[in-house]
Chains A and B, each alone.
Chain A
Amino acid sequence: MNEEQTTDYAIKLDIFEGPLDLLLYLIKKNEIDIYNIPVALITEQYLQYLKMIKSLNLDLAGEYLVMAATLIHIKSRMLLPEPEEPEEEEEDPRAELVRQLLEYQAFKEAAANLSQRPILERDVFTRAAFLPEEIEKLPPGEEDLIEVSIFELIEAFHRLVSRIDRKELLEIDLEKMSVTDIINDILERLSNEKNLTFEELLGEGKERWRIIYTFLALLELIKLKMVKAYQTSAFGVIRIFPAVES
């Protein structure tokens, strides 16, 4: 491999989206008819490319190696003599790969077409900024909401649990409510209130089980993307918003 070739490949390193993309590039570069791929040539160039990635100590995704094996397999099948009396019409060993390449090429093109469309907030704009609607329902004075991470929720949970009366901790009581009940309760209250803080969600009852259940319900609702948690600043008050577009 001469130096010119090396740099040629090196420049392309980052832009391949996978083995199919690399194959399409090699086909285009060699001006090959995709329906009649010279497998030996393409396999050789493909393997050269993999070697180069290795020599640069870059991680090689497993998919590239699978494709290398496929290419070598096709190449070997092409070398087999054709049966004199074919029992049934034998498919070209390259057919499956060609089908895959064409399909991938079609979607690559479709992706490029999509990128060229007038994209909202890049090329075209609406009157109102394209913001989640809950931002507009902000309580006065609390702008710039930050989405809350799980860690902040856990911290809020800890703060509340640490406030519980010691005596309360000794209480053993069987389920008074299920997490599902609390979920329904939260959703109902959010539909009336628009947004609530974690403490407001707890209401009067600050028993240990209620805090835990409310926390679990909240995690479940966030996971289901039915509510969103925001705060105005790091360590600020956490507010829960319904994620539902009414």
Chain B
Amino acid sequence: MENIKAIIEALILASEVPVVLEKICLVLPEVEKTQIQETLDNLMAEYNERAGGICLQEVAGGFQFRTRPEFGPWIKKLKGTKPASFSHAAMETLAIVAYRQPIVKSEIESIRGVDVGYSLKTLLEKKLVRIIGRKDVPGKPIIYGTTKKFLEVFNLKDLSELPTLRELKELNEPGEMKILEKPDKSAEIIILEEPNETSEELPG
């Protein structure tokens, strides 16, 4: 097959959501996975080299064509939409969930020093945060984590692409003061599969 690159390019353009490598493999069973990955890398490099209006981006574990950030103002003008905005409170809560997940509400509140009920609700509604389960401690508090949509909205390949927390890193090094710091959990974030939302938790 000589036109693999063209086929893959077409697949990505035609898809509504970021296309995962496995899906491309399913469509092109006769092509080796490594070759597909290579072709994807080539495609990405090509779009980068061209430096046009769009680029091929790896987001939320898949591949998607996106416009380049610098052209945002014109697209907004074209669409006439107001840009999505997040409050400081929501962003702080989101950052804590992203870095410290799986996390319960009281842990978020102890970091922010304020009640986070409202911002957590907003994030759940915007589907950036989801309920992962319940912690097996008294009261069975709800455990929160980020969603696939979070990765899509914030242009992230996966959670490991989040920059490390600067201050906390410094904090773990021997400083002038003895400070007890909880181990940085960002290195061991458990990425749980998002539920397919079927057959689960049907009331009896």
Report yes or no: B177 in contact with A92, Cβ–Cβ below 8 A. yes
Binds B, one of A155-163, A165-173, A177-185, A233-241: A177-185
Known: A104-B113, A107-B111, A109-B166. A114 touches B95 (CB 8 A): yes
B-chain residues with CB within 8 Å of residue A118 when the two chains form the complex: 66, 69, 72, 155
Complex CA gap A244/B198 in Å reads 8
A104 to B100, CA, bound (A): 13
CA distance A179 to B95 in the complex (A): 39
Segment from B20-28, B86-94, B133-141 that makes contact with A:
B86-94
Q: Which residue on chain B has the smallest CB distance to residue A21?
A: B113
Contacts of B72 in A (CB 8 A): 118, 122-125
In the bound complex, do residue B177 and residue A95 qualify as a contact, i.e. CB atoms below 8 Å apart?
yes
**B67 close to A124 (CB less than 8 A):** yes
What is the interface residue range for chain A against chain B?
A: 35 or more
Bound Cα distance A126, B120 (Å): 27
Is there a chain A Cβ closer than 8 Å to B6's Cβ? Answer: no
Q: Which of B92, B98, B162, B168 has the most CB of A within 10 A?
A: B92
B203 touches A179 (CB 8 A): yes
Contact of A115 among B75, B86, B113, B156 (CB under 8 A): B86
Q: How far is the CA of A111 from the CA of B96 in the complex (A)?
A: 8
A35–B176 CB distance below 8 A? yes
Which one, A1-9, A12-20, A76-84, A196-204, is touching chain B? A12-20
B114, A17: Cβ atoms under 8 Å? Answer: yes
Task: Tell whether, in the assembled complex, residue A18 and residue B113 are in contact, meaning their CB atoms are under 8 Å apart.
Answer: yes
Count how many pairs of residues, one from A and one from B, have CB atoms less than 8 Å apart in the complex: 159
Whole-angstrom CA separation of A243 from B200 in the bound complex: 14
Look across to chain A and name the residue whose beta carbon is closest to the beta carbon of B68: A124
B69 contact set on A, CB distance < 8 A: 118, 123-124
Which A residues are CB-close (under 8 A) to B58? none
Within 8 A of A (CB), among B82-108: 83-86, 88-89, 91-92, 94-96, 98-99
Name the contact of B203 in the complex, choosing from A20, A107, A180 (C-beta under 8 A).
A180
Cβ-defined contact, A20 with B112, below 8 A: yes
- Provide the residues of chain A in CB contact with B66, threshold 8 Å: 118, 120, 124-126
Pick the residue among A21, A98, A120, A136 that contacts B153 (CB under 8 A): A120
Judge whether B165 is part of the interface by a CB distance below 8 angstroms.
Answer: yes
Residue contact B166 to A226, C-beta cutoff 8 Å: no
Judge whether A225 and B16 touch: CB under 8 Å. no
What count of chain B residues pass the 8 Å CB interface test? 58
Question: At the interface, is chain A mostly helix, strand, loop or mixed?
Answer: helix
The answer to whether B91 and A115 have CB atoms under 8 Å apart is: yes
**A226–B113 touching, CB < 8 Å:** no
A197 nearest CB across to chain B (Å) = 22
Cross-chain contact B197 with A244 (CB below 8 angstroms): yes
Task: Choose one: B75, B95, B115, B197; the contact of A226 (CB below 8 Å).
Answer: B197
Asked if residues B111 and A63 are in contact (CB atoms below 8 Å), the reply is: no
Q: What does the 1/0 interface line of B147-182 toward A look like (CB < 8 Å)?
A: 000001111100000110111100100011111110
Residues on A with C-beta less than 8 A from B57 are 124
Q: How far is the CA of A92 from the CA of B177 in the complex (A)?
A: 8
Chain B residues with CB under 8 Å of A187's CB are 198
Q: How far is the CA of A63 from the CA of B114 in the complex (A)?
A: 6
Whole-angstrom CA separation of A181 from B198 in the bound complex:
14
- Assembly CA distance A99 to B110 (angstroms): 12
Name the CB-closest residue of A to B109.
A63
Asked whether any CB of chain A lies closer than 8 Å to the CB of B202, the reply is: yes
Most chain B beta-carbon neighbours within 10 Å: one of A125, A184, A224: A125
Chain B 111-150 interface residues, beta-carbon cutoff 8 Å to A: 111-115
A220 within 8 A of B: yes
- B34 at the A interface (CB under 8 A): no
Besides A111-B92, A220-B203, 5 more A-B contacts (Cβ < 8 Å) are A99-B179, A100-B111, A107-B96, A111-B94, A224-B201
Q: Which residues of B contact A (CB under 8 A)?
A: 13, 16, 57, 64-69, 72, 75, 79, 81, 83-86, 88-89, 91-92, 94-96, 98-99, 110-115, 152-156, 162-163, 165-168, 171, 175-181, 196-198, 201-204
Q: Supply 6 A–B pairs (Cβ within 8 Å), ascending by A.
A: A104-B111, A114-B95, A124-B67, A127-B13, A224-B201, A226-B197
